[in-house]
Structure formats: C-alpha cells, structure tokens
Amino acid sequence: MYRYQIETQVSATPAQLFAAKLNIADWPRWDQGLEATGIDVPVQEGAAFWLRPQGGPTVRMLIETLIAPHCFSDVAVLMGARLRTRSEFIANAQGTLVRETLECWGPLAWLWNRLLVRKLAAGAADEIRTFAGYVVAQS
C-alpha cells in the first residue's frame, strides 16, 4: 500500500468545506485537474459517482465515508488498484486544519503510484488551498 498524508491550514469552516465536498457536480470549478464529474443518486455512503480527469478516461468512484462536517472519503476504482482519498476537516483557532490522506492498494498499486498518486500528493496542498478559496468566495 502507498500512503500519503498532507495537512494544510485554511480559513474556511469545517461545515463550509464539507458542504462543498458534497456538491460533487461543482468539483471541476475548484479542481483544475477535472474535466467533469457526475452523480445520479443522493450523496450518501455507498453511492457511486464518476469523474473525468482533464484528457483522461472516466473513473468510477464510490463514496466511502460521510461524517458531517468532519470527514469525506471516496474510492476510485482503477484497473488493478483502488485509490482512497480521505479529507478530514478539523476546527482550530485559526480556522480549519484540512488533513488529506491518499492510499493506493492492489496488484497494480505500484504502477498507479508512479503514474498518478505521488503527483496528486505533491499537488495536494495547493489543491486544498484552491478549494478553500473557492469555498470562502461562494459564502
């Protein structure tokens, strides 16, 4: 298993961040790496949705955990591997500490780590700041 954990301090509240995460259709507005996203069922644990990275194939996703307003995790179904992204929103005196954990496992995890996961981890702090800026601007 490959695991990365990134922590970034932001000014948005956990409730604001969690609500924005639930709005899956808006993810491409703050994540420049996404071309499109979609969900045809209510947002709840176990629900399936999809996303399409810029220039890439559509990826099937599953919502794994929803603990309002503190945690949102999903799992990407990749060929020969799974990729979990867990976002935790921890309130503190400065606003919110966002802890993002990426975990990739399965027979081809080594390949997905080389092609994708470590790049996602390297850019996660910037993506979190962009996400929080979007959230604050929408409030």
- The CATH number given to whatever domain includes residue 82 is 3.30.530.20
3-state SS, residue 126: helix
Judged on CB neighbours under 10 Å (0-12, 13-18, 19+), 44 is: exposed
pLDDT value at residue 101: 98
Q: Are 88 and 71 in contact (CB under 8 A)?
A: yes
- Give the rounded distance of the alpha carbon of 14 from its chain centre: 15
| pLDDT over threshold 90, residue 139 | no
- What pLDDT digit, counting tens, does each position of 4-22 carry? 999 999 999 999 999 999 9
Q: Where on the phi/psi map is residue 78: left (φ > 0), alpha (ψ -120 to 50), or beta?
A: beta
- Alpha-carbon distance of 134 to 88, in angstroms, equals 17
Give all strands of the β-sheet with 71-78 in edge-to-edge order. 2-10, 95-105, 81-92, 71-78, 59-67, 48-53, 34-38
Antiparallel, parallel or unpaired: β 81-92 and 34-38? unpaired
pLDDT value at residue 7: 97
pTM: 0.95
Domain count, the chain: 1
- What pLDDT digit, counting tens, does each position of 55-108 carry? 999 999 999 999 999 999 999 999 999 999 999 999 999 999 999 999 999 999
Residue 67's domain comprises 2-138
Size of the chain in residues: 139
To the nearest whole percent, how much of the chain has pLDDT over 90? 99
